[in-house]
Amino acid sequence: MPNTYTQIYLHTVFAVKHRYGLIQSAWKEDLYRYMTGIIQNQGHKLLSINGMPDHIHAFIGINPKQSISDLMQDLKGDSSKWINDKRLVKGHFEWQTGYGAFSYSHSQIDEVVQYISNQKEHHRKRTFLEGYTAFLNKFNVPYDERYIFNQIE
């Protein structure tokens, strides 16, 4: 798109279905590299990716040629297929329906990258659900607790 200039930074968060801790340290870096390729192949720029066994954070410089929902569908769909094709988990791997996407300014890049890099430390102090609802509240996103990334009961 000639003469189109944008600066769009999104921090995305999505969880394993039922928030099962299926992402193993033995292959998570390979998963992150695969996800990086998906993001870059769609013309976006990955600034940071990290997570825990039950969820992923990805900080992305968005190219407006693709909608956020299409990017997230590609990212989650292609990565779950990759996990299943490689048989990295017993049974069938799925991401939970939905995702969070929060916008940041250029001046906040370092802060968000640091936050994503320190997931292990962060989750020693706060559960995933506490952190996620804190994002929703911080960004004034209305939500229905029935549809938050809940664990299976």
pLDDT at 151: 60
**How far is residue 150's CA from residue 134's CA, in Å, rounded to a whole number?**
15
pLDDT value of position 147: 76
What is the 3-class SS of 80-134, one letter each residue? HHHHHHCCCCCCCCCECCCCEEEEECHHHHHHHHHHHHCHHHHHHHCCHHHHHHH
pLDDT at 152: 55
The predicted structure's pLDDT at residue 79: 98
Tokens of 104: 């940041």
Domain boundaries, the chain: 9-146
- The answer to whether the CB of 1 falls within 8 A of the CB of 61 is no
pLDDT, tens only, 57-89: 999 999 999 999 999 999 999 999 999 999 999
* 149 φ/ψ angles, rounded to the nearest 5 degrees: -65, 80
3-state secondary structure of 40: helix
Per-chain mean pLDDT for the chain: 93
Q: What span, in angstroms and rounded, lies between the C-alpha atoms of 93 and 109?
A: 31
- What separation in angstroms does the CA of 115 have from each of 39, 108, 111? 20, 11, 6
Looking at the whole model, is its pTM more than 0.85? yes
* Residue stretches of the chain with pLDDT short of 50: none
Contact assessment for residue 39 and residue 71, using Cβ atoms and an 8 Å cutoff: yes
pLDDT, position 109: 97
Q: Does domain 9-146 have CATH number 3.30.70.1290?
A: yes
